[in-house]
Structure 1
């Protein structure tokens, strides 16, 4: 019989509690004011911890943004994977994965665009940045798995196409010209480009 999970110790529970408070406080302040207008002191005060403790979890405000956005991205990716499982068309399933990610990123446009800049130009040795990169790879893997439903696409080509689709998605979210466009408009733009790459798929957007 499998062994039961070991109970979490008090110290670990305290660490998790502080982390959850930090994420909740930073998310609320970032959503209300934008990341540029928020200070680390405000986040620490709202989380009811000292700034020294805050910096044990994230060394800068940029890392705090990565921490917050990553937590939302995890949930968005799981939602997208589940939605893709319920669809049949390849393009429709790809867009089902992408839509929650775009929605997560666009919940606050400037914060989302700042997150993408940090993802591209930030320090890859920083743990929250590394997690963001891993989430990108997991998204590409999910897209590649869907592309392999098409028997004409082998695993290597699927991986390459998934990287291209990921780049299309990130460009759609990050480019200045799309700053005021809705999620539906961005998804429609992505869908058009994906259909060009994958001819023969029906012109259907997931609902």
Structure 2
């Protein structure tokens, strides 16, 4: 015998079916959102881009690809031989996109190397400890810098060559970076003087400037050498810094255990 048709039962089944489909659709939407959410969380937590939307993250990803492509091509082909069209093709973007981030390839080179330089310097100075002898305090950041430069010496050579021709905002950025470096050295000298490790009637800012310029000249000399070794560059710099310190009436504590 056929079951009696009950309208209320049919409505219940229909309601359950609709609710089930809605739950299924909601799960699908959630699953589609998960990769994006993971990408946002990954970038926000690890890369320091907290709060950025997907559009901003995509822009940052394009810039990253452009910089990586440019660095690879500058290193393999040379700066002059590389074109912005080649950089765009390697990065997987339109050539016009490059000019949203840099006015020309020299500007792009400068951004690549200056970003790395400033990040490395900040990390390097964070390794200094107050109890270190002054000589070691001056050398510790340079060891970090030289090791970083040695990772892609060809690109760094190009950068140092092109520094001569930088102008406008890039020249101002370079000047500000140098002033920050000189200020850090000055603080090290003042702290050493307060501890009685050095004595001088010279202006600490002048001494810091002189120390910085000497270190930059030594770095250029090292980079231009044939197969430069970090250990040799630091040994040369140690001698240069030692000469500077001897002019500042140092105590033995300024040099540490030597």
Q: TM-score range by the shorter chain?
A: 0.7 to 0.9
Report if the CA contact (8 A) 1:97-1:143 is conserved: no
Superposed, 1:38-77 pairs within 5 Å as 38-77=82-121
Matched, 1:131 2:178: no
Q: For residue 176 of structure 1, report the CA deviation from its aligned partner.
A: 7.8
Structure-2 residue corresponding to 1:186: 233
RMSD: 3.0
Which SS does the other structure have where 1:67 is aligned?
helix
Structure-2 residue corresponding to 1:112: 156
Structure 2 residues not aligned, in runs of 5+? 1-48
Report if the CA contact (8 A) 1:144-1:161 is conserved: yes
What's the TM-score once normalised by structure 2's chain length?
0.66
CA distance in 2, matches of 1:204, 1:190: 18
Structure label with greater radius of gyration: 2
Of 65-74 and 11-20, deviating more is 11-20
Structure-2 residue corresponding to 1:171: 217
CA distance in 2, matches of 1:197, 1:179: 24
User: More relative contact order in 1 or in 2 (CA 8 Å, sep 6+)?
Assistant: 1
Report if the CA contact (8 A) 1:113-1:173 is conserved: no
CA distance in 2, matches of 1:122, 1:163: 21
Q: For residue 146 of structure 1, report the CA deviation from its aligned partner.
A: 1.5
CA distance in 1, matches of 2:96, 2:175: 27
CA distance in 2, matches of 1:38, 1:54: 14
- The number of residues matched between the two structures is 199
Structure-2 residue corresponding to 1:195: 242
CA distance in 2, matches of 1:71, 1:173: 18
